[in-house]
Amino acid sequence: MFIVKSFVNLRKHILLSIHSLLRSFFMRERRYYYEQFFGTDSLFVLIVKNLLRPKRFLMKFIYGQVVSLPSMISLGSSIKPMTSLLDEWKGYLDTMKRDGVVFIPEAFKAEANNLCERYNITRNDYPPSDKYTRFNLEVNDPDILNIVTAPIMLSILAGYYGCQPYLRHLPAINCTHPQSEKDRNFRGYNNFWHYDTVNLTTAHILLNDIVATDNCMLYAKGSHRTHRVQLTDKDYYYSEEYMRDHFEIIPCIGNKGDLVLFDPNGLHRVDLKMGTFRSHLHINIVPGNDILNVESDRQTDFPCLTQSDLSDLMEIQKQSLKYVM
């Protein structure tokens, strides 16, 4: 145990030292790099960091997310072609591959209305807070089931991954209602430019109309194609100045029922606006890695799904629920 702990401490010290050297030589622009904001897309720096901590890159590679791999090698599960669906939504798929984010208007308008009524999703029912108000839902809710198995979403993700997409965990309703200016620097909100779990894609179904003057997510267009990894706690977040000078920033806004589908390996953050309210259904999808065992927070009166309930679903839809049922 002592030897293992000593090795971990030594490795941490080495990474800190290397990060200090990289900062001294390649991150000297104080306008971009300061305090905890030493994230950078400098090619040389990223090559060094990925060589020192290759796990994240290797996880992308073995799931076929760096280059397409033969099915006998890739950990991603192959799927039957969905040519008609992929042709129907090819424009959305191409946009997501290019930009890392795509907006699909009114994809789930009826379901969004039902969920808001069923779970009382209003700014009055979810008062101001210094963190997200979030609760997980069961897939036996018929509107949740319609959304998470929607051919429009699964076909785009199957094309994006090149393999079977899976729900990483139960979907959740997330409400953002900051109570004061101090919440801008509070860790209860993801208010700093960052990236998330490797190979992850995320779907937001808007549960209220959102405009640019409301709380909304900001996304750095095209930033999903870079292989990022951190060495220390200091080089994870990116500064606002760096982001504004290096990327086109897209506000993720729209109307109730709109689908925002994005790759959170791209840089993103929430943009907090005091006194405004945002709510959305949050769904995380992966090709099979980093599955989480999450329990539902809100029980419903709907009966549990059975094989007969699933019999009309296509195989890709059934398989997408593998880890949440």
224-274 pLDDT, tens digit per residue, is 999 999 999 889 999 999 999 999 999 999 999 999 999 999 999 999 998
More confident position, 39 or 12? 39
| pTM summary value | 0.94
- The proportion of the chain whose per-residue pLDDT surpasses 70, expressed as a percent, equals 94
Residue with tokens 């589908």: 261
Residues 6+ apart with CB under 8 A from 29: none
Whether the predicted pLDDT of 2 surpasses 80: no
Local confidence band at 156 (pLDDT 50, 70, 90 cut-offs): very high
In this predicted model, which residue has the larger pLDDT, 88 or 149? Answer: 149
Residue 181: per-residue pLDDT: 66
Residue that has been written with the tokens 């209220």 in this structure: 208
For Cα atoms 297, 300, 301, give the angle at the middle one, nearest 5 degrees: 155
pLDDT at residue 249, as a whole number: 98
Q: Which amino acid makes up residue 317?
A: Q
**Segments in 63-177 forming alpha helices (H):** 83-88, 90-99, 109-118, 142-148, 151-161
Distance CA 243, CA 235 (A): 14
Three-class secondary structure of residue 276 per DSSP = coil
Residue 318 Rama label (left phi>0; alpha psi -120 to 50; beta)? alpha
- Model pLDDT, residue 238: 97
pLDDT over 80 at 127, yes or no: yes
Q: Over range 192-208, report the average pLDDT.
A: 97
Length of the chain: 325
Residue 289 has pLDDT above 90, yes or no: yes
- Which token pair is 248? 């086109």
Which of 143, 86, 150 is closest to 314 using CA atoms? 150
Compare 99 and 178 and report the one with higher pLDDT.
Answer: 99
What angle do helix axes 90-99 and 151-161 make, rounded to 10 degrees? 50
Q: Tens digits of per-residue pLDDT, 20-51? A: 999 999 999 999 999 999 999 999 999 999 99
Q: Residue 127 class from Cβ within 10 Å (0-12 exposed, 13-18 middle, 19+ buried)? A: exposed
Taking only the tens place, the pLDDT of each residue in 295-311 is 898 877 788 877 777 88
Model pLDDT, residue 185: 67
- CA–CA distance, 90 with 84 (Å, rounded to integer): 10
pLDDT for res 6 = 65
- For the stretch 75-117, pLDDT in tens is 999 887 666 667 778 999 999 999 999 999 999 999 999 999 9
Q: Identify any residues that bridge with 281 across adjacent strands, giving them in sequence order.
A: 173, 205
Cα separation, 27 vs 127, in Å, equals 41
Letter string b/e over residues 76-91, b meaning 16 or more CB atoms within 10 A of that residue's CB: bbebeebeebeeebee
HSE, side-chain direction, 13 A CA sphere, residue 74 = 21
CATH number at 79-320: 2.60.120.620
